[in-house]
Structure 1
Amino acid sequence: MYLRHGAYYFVDHGGRWHHLGRDKREALRRYADVATVPQAVSLGAWMDRYLREIVPRKGQRTQRDNAAEMERLRSVFGDMLPDEVRPGDIYRYIDARGAPTRANREIALLSHLYTQLIRWEVVEHNPCRGIERNRERPRQRYVTDEEFWAVHDIAAPVLQLGMRLAVLTGVRLGRMLSLRREHVTDDGLMVPATKGGRPLLVEWTPELRDVVDGLERLRAVASVYLVARRDGQPYTRDGWQSMWTRTRDRALAEGLIAEPFSWHDLRAKAGSEAGDEELLGHQDMRVLRRHYQRAPRRVRPNRVER
């Protein structure tokens, strides 16, 4: 707190001077109010609270993504006060970002931050509301059977079984790596519910039973995890992705496939070829049809007659 021209001021981390009044006792009271909520000084401080209190409730991958996204947001908005951010500032960020999809994710995170700020009674309005996001085109990469087996046949045994499990069940990678032996039931493979959904019981087929039994045989010791290393320990997401990327890139280098595809594209292959639209667990079938059904649609031609 500083005395300047007969009045008391508080200077925040951004160098801004806040008038506290001329009466010292009243100025001290106002200073105490400011000092007890240091996060209110800048949006960057509230970002820190969001990372501490909100992000840990999310999935591990989302936590990593949010941490990276928040650092980009911090570099632009971190020194601003929460109520200083205007829609024009957000549009300038989107235009300058240069990565349309990532910009959308970052502004979505900023919007959720402001939702929390409203709940924490820091601001009354969300400047992200009504912002027009970049248009995103659904990914169209469809993995053919030939491409699938070309990568499969040069992969390590555990990766081969994982690839087959992904296409048979459509299970996401994070969910697959978290499957435990208790999820192997008499009636089928129980896939735990995602947020807001219900568990899926994937009924046994000879192919699915063969994959699950194969995963059991690979381990040298017992494990609570269905997909595990030989020592019974679970794979990390990064470790699995590294193994996958090396194998996929080898297939590219050897000319076995012409274009790369991601592990997530295997989920789209499962959705494209599923005989049951419930396989991927979407409550809104429009998500399935827009993002996961990528195989060419078979249609009959018209007849042309004289």
Structure 2
Amino acid sequence: MAANRDLALFSTIWTMCSPANWNYINKECPSKGIKKNKEKPRDVYVEDYIYELLYRYGTQDLQDAMRMAMMLGQRPSDMLKIHTGLIHNGILSFKQNKTSNPLRFKVTESLQEIITRRAPYGGYLFLNSRKRKMSVGNLWERYKKAQAIAIQKHPEHAEELAQAQFRDLRAKSATDKSLVSSEEAAQKLLGHSSVNITKRVYIRRSKEIDPFEEGVVNKNK
């Protein structure tokens, strides 16, 4: 995946240097024709019991971040930029960093509980030790500490705990939303323009199937 990102960046830079843009280079891009590695979407699903273990050993700010990640289904960078100034008439509104898609969330009782605890006097909800807006790196450090404690105390789940990343909570939120509602509801929660990307990348569990228990099955009891 990293190699694919590098190729895309190199191609973009070369295009900007072409005669059509900055006119620095008048040659064909060297990366043209290079095949990218086929990428497989990440398929880790954080089971409820794994989530609960990580939550148990997290600090209060990590616990609140985990809850909000599940409720809003947003990327860490979007969640950490939430400010009380984005809330008007009971609606939390912001644009996603990656896509600029506008989202509007109802401030439910559970969401308000977190907002009140995190920013009783207003401001950013998540702050670092210097009382400044928490970065993704700050959040990652808190998560890794909780993860390490959970692995130490629950070695029987060490592999699953080690695989689970904070970013997987976005997929868990989408998956769980689709299971209790629909894939379209999960799409809206994540802010995707198409349900296809939601299904292909973020929904990592399907609904249970009822076994067939009629006809010859019952006759052979």
Structure-2 separation of matches of 1:123 and 1:282: 38
* Alpha carbons 2:4, 2:37 under 8 Å: kept: yes
Q: Aligned pair 1:300/2:200, yes or no?
A: no
Amino acid in the other structure paired with 2:193: Q
RMSD: 2.1
In structure 2, relative to structure 1, the CA distance for the partners of 1:206 and 1:117 (3 Å cut) is same
Structure 2 counterparts to residues 1-306 of structure 1, below 5 A:
101-118=1-18, 119-121=21-23, 122-217=25-120, 222=121, 224-229=123-128, 232-255=131-154, 257-258=157-158, 259=160, 260=162, 261-274=164-177, 275=181, 276=185, 277-303=187-213, 305-306=215-216
In structure 2, relative to structure 1, the CA distance for the partners of 1:223 and 1:212 (3 Å cut) is closer
- Structure 1, gaps ≥5 residues long: 1-100
In structure 2, relative to structure 1, the CA distance for the partners of 1:249 and 1:202 (3 Å cut) is same
Structure-2 separation of matches of 1:154 and 1:147: 11
Q: Deviations over 1:91-129 (max 9, x none)?
A: xxxxxxxxxx22111111111122112222213433334
Residue 140 of structure 1 deviates from its aligned partner by: 0.7
Amino acid in the other structure paired with 1:144: E
Structure-2 separation of matches of 1:197 and 1:129: 30
Residue 292 of structure 1 deviates from its aligned partner by: 0.8
Amino acid in the other structure paired with 1:226: L
Residue 231 of structure 1 deviates from its aligned partner by: 6.0
In structure 2, relative to structure 1, the CA distance for the partners of 1:305 and 1:201 (3 Å cut) is same
Q: Deviations over 1:17-56 (max 9, x none)?
A: xxxxxxxxxxxxxxxxxxxxxxxxxxxxxxxxxxxxxxxx
| Corresponding residue SS for 2:69 | helix
Residue 290 of structure 1 deviates from its aligned partner by: 1.1
In structure 2, relative to structure 1, the CA distance for the partners of 1:214 and 1:112 (3 Å cut) is same
% identical equivalent positions:
25
* Alpha carbons 1:271, 1:293 under 8 Å: kept: yes
In structure 2, relative to structure 1, the CA distance for the partners of 1:193 and 1:103 (3 Å cut) is closer
Q: Deviations over 1:129-183 (max 9, x none)?
A: 4432111111111011111111111111111101100110012111112111111
* Alpha carbons 1:161, 1:214 under 8 Å: kept: no
Aligned residues: 202
Structure-2 separation of matches of 1:102 and 1:231: 33
Q: Max radius of gyration: which structure? A: 1
- 4+ residue stretches of structure 1 with deviation over 6 A? none
Q: Deviations over 1:192-239 (max 9, x none)?
A: 23344431111133322222222225xxxx452122247642112222
Q: Which has the higher contact order (CA 8 A, sep 6+)?
A: 2
In structure 2, relative to structure 1, the CA distance for the partners of 1:162 and 1:196 (3 Å cut) is closer
Residue 278 of structure 1 deviates from its aligned partner by: 0.4
